[in-house]
């Protein structure tokens, strides 16, 4: 069981060391004393010390109305995000990037909406419309066998500041729809908040998620990760290494424009709509961020691989044969007619046996679209 510290524990006037379930292990006059106890207990029990505990999302949102939801939902009128509401106080911001709503006396997401919305004086310009850019799946394999890590990437501006040794970019952007996975995925504002507050957890900046090409780390202080109204902002002090110098040259030439992040989704960290066609990530365990310079254009997702395995097993065709054809399509190569026939046969034979297999049906549509390119 992990341990935390808090200054809101019942019965403690100052700081307290607590268990994950809230049980107080000790009261302290100083924050450092509470940290020392938490670290000592965690080490003796072989568990983890997670740092300062904040109220979780459910507790923070409890006082908000049921209508509080992403402003990108179809039934929300255009422009009616909390960020454009008169009650949105941009001068009072929580550590996770939320601003205080003076109507409900709670911190809220600028890209969400509630039915108490009233227009602000003047246009703040808080735009949550779908952007032309898309969130993409980064085609990398997790380093640990059996890992459930996922990788996503975004294209946009990345640059160097000052003397050229400070890197600035966005590894993730909020409320930007993904390309078909085949489901559509978005990241809700504040999704990284809890992970970023875990001070004991290190996050590193790589090139192409290659652990041999590390640029900076959170633990060393050379990597700074924050959430703002756009998304997950990355700022790093670049080292004097060959990889970093090459990256600077590529950035100055305008060649590099994509960042990526590796993550897992904790229990309760995502929400799906009824037919499995839309997923919203509301909580993310962030493991690493990366500058992308050389990944293939075609995104091979874990979800796509799982769907191919299901379909291939059903019709008795090797998964490798299917993925080889898809790789050739991605690279713009001519597809061997025999292999094209194999893929078409799979598409013909891979019909869901039961109508409720909605997600599998969506994946089938994605492969149908690929087949038209043969």
| Six token digits for residue 87 | 């009650």
* CA–centroid distance for 73 within its chain: 19
Same domain flag for 281 and 144: yes
Angstrom distance (rounded) from CA 65 to CA 116: 9
User: Element (H or E) spanning 94, and its range?
Assistant: none
| Six token digits for residue 148 | 């459930």
Same domain flag for 107 and 191: no
**Residue 232: which of 169, 281, 158, 166 has the closest Cα?**
169
Domain boundary among 267, 292, 317: 292
Domain boundary among 269, 292, 315: 292
Same domain flag for 318 and 196: no
Residue 127 lies in a domain: no
Residue 70 lies in a domain: yes
Residue 129 lies in a domain: no
How big, in percent rounded to 5, are the helix, strand and coil portions of the chain?
25, 30, 45
* CA–centroid distance for 33 within its chain: 34
Residue 15 lies in a domain: yes
Domain holding 38, by residue range, is 3-52
* CA–centroid distance for 317 within its chain: 34
Residue 216 lies in a domain: yes
Q: What is the pLDDT of residue 355?
A: 45
Helix/strand/coil for 313: helix
Same domain flag for 225 and 272: yes
Q: What is the pLDDT of residue 223?
A: 94
Paired strand residues for 121 = none
Same domain flag for 140 and 279: yes
What domain count does the chain have? 4
Q: What is the pLDDT of residue 224?
A: 94
Q: What is the pLDDT of residue 285?
A: 92
Contacts of 102 (CB under 8 A, 6+ apart): 87, 89
User: Element (H or E) spanning 321, and its range?
Assistant: helix 319-330
Same domain flag for 215 and 331: no
Residue 167 lies in a domain: yes
Angstrom distance (rounded) from CA 96 to CA 189: 9
Same domain flag for 76 and 109: yes
Q: What is the pLDDT of residue 205?
A: 94
Same domain flag for 187 and 250: yes
Residue 128 lies in a domain: no
Q: What is the pLDDT of residue 253?
A: 75
Q: One digit per residue, pLDDT tens: the chain, 374 residues?
A: 788 888 888 888 888 888 887 888 889 888 878 887 887 887 778 777 777 775 544 444 446 788 888 777 777 777 788 888 888 887 787 755 678 888 888 888 888 888 888 887 765 556 554 434 577 777 777 666 667 788 898 877 677 776 778 888 899 999 888 887 778 899 999 999 999 988 778 899 999 888 889 999 998 999 999 999 889 999 999 999 998 888 888 887 777 888 899 999 888 899 988 878 889 999 999 999 999 886 533 333 334 444 555 655 654 556 556 556 665 665 566 667 766 676 676 566 545 555 444 545 555 555 555 555 45
Same domain flag for 103 and 22: no
Same domain flag for 339 and 260: no
Residue 121 lies in a domain: no
Domain boundary among 71, 98, 113: 113
**Residue 353: which of 311, 293, 297, 305 has the closest Cα?**
311
Paired strand residues for 119 = 85
């Amino acid at each position: 069981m992990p341990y935390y510290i808090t200054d809101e524990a019942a019965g403690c006037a100052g700081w307290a060391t607590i268990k994950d379930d809230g049980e107080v292990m000790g009261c302290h006059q100083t924050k450092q004393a509470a940290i020392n106890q938490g670290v000592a207990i965690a080490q003796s029990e072989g568990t983890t010390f997670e740092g300062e505990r904040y109220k979780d999302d459910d507790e923070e949102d409890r006082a908000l109305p049921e209508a509080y939801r992403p402003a990108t939902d179809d039934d929300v009128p255009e422009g009616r995000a909390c960020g454009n509401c008169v009650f949105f106080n941009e001068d009072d911001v929580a550590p996770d990037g939320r601003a205080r709503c003076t109507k409900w006396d709670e911190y809220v997401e600028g890209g969400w909406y509630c039915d108490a919305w009233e227009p602000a004086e003047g246009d703040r310009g808080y735009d949550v419309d779908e952007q032309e850019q898309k969130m993409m799946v980064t085609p990398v394999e997790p380093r640990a066998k059996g890992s459930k890590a996922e990788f996503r990437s975004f294209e946009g501006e990345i640059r160097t500041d000052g003397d050229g040794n400070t890197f600035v970019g966005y590894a993730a952007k909020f409320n930007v729809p993904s390309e078909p996975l085949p489901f559509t995925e978005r990241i809700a504002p504040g999704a990284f908040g809890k992970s970023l507050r875990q001070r004991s957890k290190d996050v590193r900046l790589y090139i192409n998620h290659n652990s041999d090409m590390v640029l900076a780390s959170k633990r060393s202080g050379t990597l700074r990760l924050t959430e703002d109204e756009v998304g997950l902002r990355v700022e790093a002090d670049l080292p004097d290494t060959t990889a970093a110098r090459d990256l600077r040259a590529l950035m100055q030439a305008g060649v590099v424009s994509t960042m990526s992040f590796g993550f897992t989704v904790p229990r309760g960290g995502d929400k799906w709509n009824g037919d499995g066609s839309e997923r919203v990530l509301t909580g993310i365990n962030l493991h690493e961020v990366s500058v992308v310079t050389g990944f293939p254009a075609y995104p091979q997702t874990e979800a796509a691989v799982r769907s191919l395995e299901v379909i291939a097993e059903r019709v008795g065709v090797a998964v490798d044969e299917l993925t080889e054809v898809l790789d050739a399509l991605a690279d713009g190569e001519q597809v061997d007619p025999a292999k094209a026939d194999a893929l078409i046969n799979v598409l013909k034979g891979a019909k869901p046996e039961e109508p409720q297999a909605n997600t599998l049906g969506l994946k089938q549509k994605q492969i149908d679209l690929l087949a038209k390119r043969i």
